[in-house]
A and B are shown apart, each in its own frame.
Chain A
């Protein structure tokens, strides 16, 4: 085998295959980038299938009118006409029917392809086209004419794309803004469709109808996983196109298989390898990112654990309370120290002011959830575990809702004090009187008529009555005002600072 390879490589047919395939692959890769970002992959499929009708019609026309056999330019022109018709019919049918475009593309390209197959087989005595060659391609049988066409198409399409790169980029990214900036978006779109058609037509003879769409989009998609800029994506796609052809041809020789199939197989394997290994958008990178990511609940469990124990608390004691492996625990501590939530001294961990506030918010959420769950009929034995899950739902609005729903309870089912709503009480804005706990002083900002309170009144809260359902406000200068939940919500007060 090793002796066979160099000998074959020096054969003309192999060199032509390599040259022609690479030419086609470079242009396919570059155009394919625009196809991928515009989500037009199906268009490539449609165009390649439409080709057989065009090639057949072009062949027949030259044969019947001028008596010329296999006239390449006529077949190329026929392909383009057939492609243009397919695109036009797709646009027309999706506009006038309620079918979505993907369905219409499927219908139209199969229809045109079928028309081509019928045409070629009906006139089989006049048209000498090998349908199998057409479908499968024959990269190892590349002719000089194929090479010339590929070179010509490649040079013109690449020139257009390079010269008008900015227009293609802007129109594909944001057509409305491109139009506003003065770019002729409709013309740019037409040019892109024409470029895709030309590329597809020139590639079919190499890899066949079925595989051409792969050559168009797979190298581009591979490059997409590796780059954040369209120009670099195009350069990479061209490179991947060439490596696919070279690698695929080597594979074809090694396995003695069909050239087109081997090229696409190599191309797909290359894509899968990049998908797995790409530094940012790859699966492995994503998996490692997720592994490195510290879940929010772990931070919250650490805060809660430090808050409960006497501070400072040794890290090992905290670690025994939370579920995390050692390295993740250590990274979580480091992150929290960097974020200013925890302090570490020789004696152990302590909460900073910010950490204390966060921990109290969590404790408030936990105890409110426990109260809620007890009311919802959860058995006492399950309360803590369930509330431990739910305390991670501590968005301020959600907690406020639960608090109000429960009638602003002061104690949880275990009899522990629920921290007061210090986020609002210390926020500097007026709050409902229902937020005030026993002993807190406040100045009334507004109160509904008939509530017994008026703006400007100074009050101090006395213990609640009726199992917490009645708020008692002792007015400065004498007199108690009783408020039920709704009335206490309706009275807005400006709380005094908490007593030290």
Chain B
């Protein structure tokens, strides 16, 4: 793990991605420091998920570069882990909890080999961290929403990636699960990992993240929550569809 804090964990420069004439991302440049917990916020359709996929190189970039610890992203794959949106997963897929977690190790297992004792240990540890060890043999469709989210967290942890990208991990989980997940995220950050989390709930953004990235196609702000959650910025991005500025400020003081 590179600990040199001068090299950004993720450096995106002039990132532009389009589906048709409308850009999904327009000229986004941002440098994310290692060991930070970053929340990506913005209205629906603002390109939050696209940003994550563009960082992974999963959507085609029209222009721009992404560097992971100074390397082009194509050479750094495997140092990144991804946790999908719950809605994007086929929950009927014939796969067990343990197998999903093991997928995190697939990048390191040579194609002619089988999972080693190390791989199995890493998977068991990751499942224990998210407290899903006792469900290892379950098919993933037989879990509750919060448990499902934890399994994917375990996969990211088992991968041992330096950077975790999570797409709406808190969507549709209850408050207790949200706290437990957040605890896991904070442990990962304490271990020096960088976490980029797509987040829809502005009300909890300030207390959850070290840095916020406010996005609507363009980058409107990146920095500490109090610097990004400015009324003028938010009203520009949300076009007056947001009438909770008062409560947000209360949230900041908490």
A→B interface (CB under 8 Å): 37, 163-164, 166-167, 169-170, 172-183, 185, 224, 227-230, 232-233
CB-defined A-B contacts under 8 Å, sample of 16: A37-B93, A37-B94, A163-B112, A166-B103, A166-B111, A169-B95, A174-B89, A176-B53, A177-B84, A179-B77, A180-B82, A181-B103, A181-B107, A181-B159, A183-B107, A228-B95
A179 to B56, CA, bound (A): 7
- Residues of B near A164 (CB, < 8 A) are 111
Contact across chains for B96 and A228 when beta carbons are under 8 A apart: yes
Name the 7 nearest CB pairs between A and B, nearest first.
Answer: A182-B78, A228-B139, A181-B107, A182-B107, A182-B77, A180-B82, A177-B82
Question: Closest B-chain residue to A174, C-beta based?
Answer: B84
Given contacts A164-B111, A177-B82, whether A183 and B93 have CB atoms under 8 Å apart is no
B83 lies within 8 A of chain A by Cβ: yes
Q: How far is the CB of B103 from chain A (nearest CB, A)?
A: 5
Q: How long is the Cα–Cα vector from A180 to B56 in the complex, in angstroms?
A: 6
Cβ 8 A contact of A183, one of B57, B90, B106: B106
- Contact status A229-B94, CB under 8 Å: yes
Q: Is B154 an interface residue (CB 8 A)?
A: no
B13: chain A residues within 8 A (beta carbon): none
Task: Flag if B94 contacts A176 (CB, 8 Å).
Answer: no
Beyond A166-B106, A167-B106, A182-B78, is A177–B93 a contact (Cβ under 8 Å)?
A: no
Find out whether the CB atom of B84 lies under 8 angstroms from the CB atom of A176: yes
Q: A167-B106, A167-B111, A229-B99 are in contact. Are A179 and B57 (CB under 8 A)?
A: yes
Task: Please give 10 more A-B residue pairs, beta carbons under 8 A apart, in addition to A166-B111, A174-B82, A174-B84.
Answer: A170-B106, A172-B93, A173-B100, A178-B106, A179-B56, A180-B56, A180-B58, A180-B77, A181-B161, A228-B139
Instruction: Give every chain B residue within 8 A of A169 (Cβ-Cβ).
Output: 95, 99, 103
CB distance from A326 to the nearest CB of B (A): 31
- Verify A173–B95 contact, CB threshold 8 A: yes
In the assembled complex, the Cα of A166 lies from the Cα of B56 at a distance in Å of 20
Q: How far is the CA of A229 from the CA of B137 in the complex (A)?
A: 10
Tell me whether chain B's interface is mostly helix, strand or loop, or mixed: loop
B residues adjacent to A (C-beta < 8 A): 53, 56-58, 77-78, 80-84, 89-90, 93-96, 99-100, 103-104, 106-107, 109, 111-112, 139, 155, 159, 161, 165
Residue contact A224 to B106, C-beta cutoff 8 Å: no
Distance between A237 CB and nearest chain B CB, rounded to angstroms: 11
Across the two chains, which residue of chain A brings its CB closest to B142? A228
Name the residue of chain B whose CB is nearest to the CB of A230: B94
* A33 nearest in chain B by CB position: B94
Q: Does B104 lie within 8 Å of A181, measured CB to CB?
A: yes
- Compute how far the CA of A183 lies from the CA of B107 in the bound complex, rounded to whole angstroms: 6
- Determine the chain B residues whose CB is within 8 A of the CB of A37 once the complex forms: 90, 93-94
- A224-B95 Cα distance, complex, nearest whole Å: 11
A169 to B102, CA, bound (A): 11
Chain A residues, Cβ within 8 Å of B77: 179-182
Query: Which of A37, A177, A228 has the most C-beta atoms of chain B within 10 angstroms of its own C-beta?
Result: A177
Q: How far is the CB of B150 from chain A (nearest CB, A)?
A: 15
A residues near B94, Cβ cutoff 8 Å = 37, 224, 227-230, 232-233
Note all chain A residues with C-beta closer than 8 A to B109. Answer: 166
Q: Which residues of A contact B104 (CB under 8 A)?
A: 181
**A173→B83 contact, CB < 8 A:** no
In the bound complex, residues from chain A placing their C-beta under 8 Å from that of B165 are 180
Are the CB atoms of B96 and A177 closer together than 8 Å?
Answer: no
Which residues of A lie under 8 Å from residue B57 when comparing CB positions?
A: 179
A190 to B100, CA, bound (A): 23
Q: Which residues of A sit under 8 angstroms from B56, Cβ to Cβ?
A: 176, 179-180
Residues of chain B within 8 A (CB-CB) of A180 are 56, 58, 77-78, 80-82, 161, 165
Q: Which A residues are in CB contact (< 8 Å) with B80?
A: 180-181
Question: CA–CA, A224 to B90, complex, Å?
Answer: 14
In the bound complex, CA of A169 to CA of B90 (Å): 13
CA distance A178 to B161 in the complex (A): 13
Closest to A281 in B: B92
Please give, as numbers and ranges, the residues of chain A lying within 8 Å of B53 by CB-CB distance: 176
Query: Cα distance A224–B58 when bound, in Å?
Result: 29
Q: Report how far A224 CA is from B141 CA in the complex, Å.
A: 14
Q: How far is the CA of A418 from the CA of B196 in the complex (A)?
A: 51
Chain A contacts of B155 at CB under 8 A?
177
Q: How far is the CA of A224 from the CA of B159 in the complex (A)?
A: 28
CB closest residue in chain B, given A179: B58
- Residues on the B chain within 8 Å of A227, using CB: 94
- A354 vs B77: C-alpha distance when bound (angstroms): 53
Which of chain B's residues have a CB closer than 8 A to the CB of A166? 103, 106, 109, 111
